[in-house]
Structure 1
Amino acid sequence: MAKYLLIMRGTDESNAAMMADIDEMMATTREFIEEMIKAGVLLAAEGLDDPGKGVVVDFSGETPVVTDGPYGETKELFGGFFLLDVASKEEAVEWAKRVPSARGSKIEIRRVPGSDEVPQVDK
């Protein structure tokens, strides 16, 4: 088994479409979460707050600079995630294809490496 993060990415347009019928979207999402729980693959699921309420810590200069959101020229923003424990990337893709989403949304799939895969520093 391997962990995969399904990252929900949306645009202003796709987010507005989801908010237009938020009650139906939330009900569909709850059903989807229940399916993942029953299948034994869901480790965590969270939605994120409005990007305008966030901040960015930018390390491009000599000292970190903190700015309030929203984030400048960004065309897509992360809206939330599902963390799954599945047998393969292909299985993660199959679950991602079923995520309730509005037209224009995307799901980015990233494997979470195990602790045995992270380079260790010798002391």
Structure 2
Amino acid sequence: MAKYLISFPSAAMVVPEDALGAVGRDAHAVIEEAKAAGVYIFAGGIDEGVPPVLVSADGAVADGGYPWAPPINGGFTVLELPSREEAVAWAARIASACRCSQELRVFGLDPQS
């Protein structure tokens, strides 16, 4: 089985303020279904109120991330699934709950990690 990252950037989630409660309930319901199915690894979102830092190999810390890379933000779910088809189906369920499209990627898992 492979681990799949299902994610979206913050800007993709364009939801009216009065719908945010329903989005939260629906998203949590899908996560509970994933847990019940035994495919859930973890989920969450980047805390955009805490700015990133870039830590170099010598331990030096600089404010911000890579200056040439787009910012990383939004929500992330990692599920362990037997096929890409099942991953697409779960991504569609999450997209429906979050009211925005989801990116689907496969982790190249390091067996020693």
TM-score, reference length from structure 2: 0.71
- Equivalent position amino acid for 1:91 in 2: E
2:33 paired with 1:38: no
1:22 counterpart residue number: 20
Gaps of 5+ in 2: none
In the TM superposition, residue 77 of structure 1 has moved relative to its aligned partner by 5.4
2:47 counterpart residue number: 49
Contact 2:54-2:64 within 8 A present in 1 as well: no
Contact 1:10-1:106 within 8 A present in 2 as well: no
Q: Which has the larger radius of gyration?
A: 1
- Structure 1 runs of 4+ aligned residues shifted over 4 Å read 71-74
What SS class does the counterpart of residue 32 from structure 2 fall into? helix
Indicate the percent of aligned positions where both proteins have the same amino acid: 30
C-alpha separation between the residues in 2 aligned to 1:4 and 1:35? 16
In the TM superposition, residue 108 of structure 1 has moved relative to its aligned partner by 1.3
Contact 1:7-1:78 within 8 A present in 2 as well: no
TM-score, reference length from structure 1: 0.66
After TM superposition, list the pairs within 5 Å mapping 1:56-71 onto structure 2.
Answer: 57=54, 66-68=62-64
2:86 counterpart residue number: 91
2:6 counterpart residue number: 6
How many residues of Structure 1 are paired with residues of Structure 2 in the alignment? 108
Contact 2:13-2:98 within 8 A present in 1 as well: no
1:121 counterpart residue number: none
Gaps of 5+ in 1: 119-123
Contact 1:6-1:109 within 8 A present in 2 as well: yes
Higher strand share: 1
What SS class does the counterpart of residue 29 from structure 2 fall into? helix
C-alpha separation between the residues in 2 aligned to 1:85 and 1:18? 32
